[in-house]
Amino acid sequence: MASITEILELERLEKDIFRGIATETMLQRTFGGQVAGQALVSAVRTVDPEFTVHSLHGYFLRPGDPVLPIVYLVDRIRDGRSFVTRRVSAIQQGQAIFTMSASFHSGDEGIEHQDEMPQVPDPDEVPSATEAEDPVTAWLAHEWSDWDLRLVRREDVAPFPGNAARQQVWFRSRDVLPDDPVFHVCTLAYMSDMTLLGSASVPHPCEHLQSASLDHALWFLRPFRADEWLLYDQLSPSAGFGRALTQGRIFDRTGNLVAAVVQEGLTRYQRD
C-alpha cells in the first residue's frame, strides 16, 4: 500500500487537470477515501492559500478500477471575497466515477460552541487492530498498515439512548506527517470513509451484505493533526431499502470537535 504522502501527491497535467496514482490494494474497487482525498487535493491547488476548505460533498457514481490512475478535472465555480467554490470530477476511462463540490472560507469572527466528547476508553487502553481475532478488523489492519486503528470494544461503547447503532474508532498515522495543515485536512478526507459504513452493521453482525459508499459529506471545524490520536464516533440512525445512513463526529484526544461526517451507503443483502 502506498503511503498517504504518495497517495496525495498529485501530478498537474494542465492548469485545472490533475492525476492521482493507482495504489496496491486488496480491494476490488478503488477505496472511496482515496478518491475523495485526491479530489480535495486537486481543488485545494486551484485556491488561494488564504482560503481554507470547510466542507465537501461528494457522490460515488461508479466503482473505480484500483489498477488505473484517476484524472481530476476542476471547475472554478465561484471566487468570492469570503467564499470560494470548486467542483471536481474524477475520471477513469472517459467516465466520471466521483463528483465533488468543495467550499473554502477566508475565516471570520463569530459565535462558538461544540458538543462534548463522549466518554470513551483512552486509545492506550484499546487493543490495536493488528491484535484483533475478528477477520474484518484484521483485514483493516493489513490493508491500512500505515494507520494505527483501534476499534473500541462494543461492550465499552457508551450507550446512546434511542440510538439504533453506534461504534467508536481511534486512529492516527503511524508516521509523522508534514506540518502543512492542508495536508492533514486532505488526509482526513481520505480516512473519513474508513469504517464509517460499518457502523450500520453493528445491530446485524451475522448478515452478509454488499456495501459501498454512495455519497459523502464532510465538514472541517477546527485544526487537527492526523498523526495524533483522533476519535471517530460513528452512528447509524437508519437503514432500509438496501441503504444505510451513517454519521460521524471526529474529536482530537483533548476533546476538540474537529470534523463532522454524514454518509449514505449501499447495504443490500449479498446477491448470488
Tens-place pLDDT, residues 115-141 = 999 999 999 999 999 888 888 888 888
Residues 18 and 80 in one domain: yes
CATH number at residue 148: 3.10.129.10
Residues 163 and 232 in one domain: yes
Residues 157 and 258 in one domain: yes
Residues 65 and 197 in one domain: no
Residues noted as catalytic: 193, 213, 263
Q: Which residue has the higher pLDDT, 209 or 64?
A: 64
Angstrom distance (rounded) from CA 54 to CA 198: 25
The whole-number pLDDT of residue 163 equals: 87
168 inside domain: yes
Total domains in the chain come to 2
Domain-terminating residue out of 106, 140, 172: 106
Query: What does the pLDDT look like over 151-187, one tens digit per residue?
Result: 999 899 987 788 899 999 999 999 999 999 999 999 9
Domain of 206 in residue numbering reads as 122-272
Look at residue 185 and give its three-state secondary structure.
Answer: helix
User: What share of the chain in percent tops pLDDT 70?
Assistant: 100
First to last CA, the chain: 30
Query: What does the pLDDT look like over 242-271, one tens digit per residue?
Result: 999 999 999 999 999 999 999 999 999 987
Q: Is 270 exposed, middle or buried (0-12, 13-18, 19+ CB in 10 A)?
A: exposed
Neighbours of 246 (CB within 10 A): 26
Residue with grid cell 486512529, as numbered in its chain:
171
pTM, to two decimals: 0.94
Residues 81 and 146 in one domain: no
217 inside domain: yes
Residues 136 and 244 in one domain: yes
User: What share of the chain in percent tops pLDDT 90?
Assistant: 83
112 inside domain: no
Given a contact cutoff of 8 angstroms between Cβ atoms, the answer to whether 194 and 144 are in contact is yes
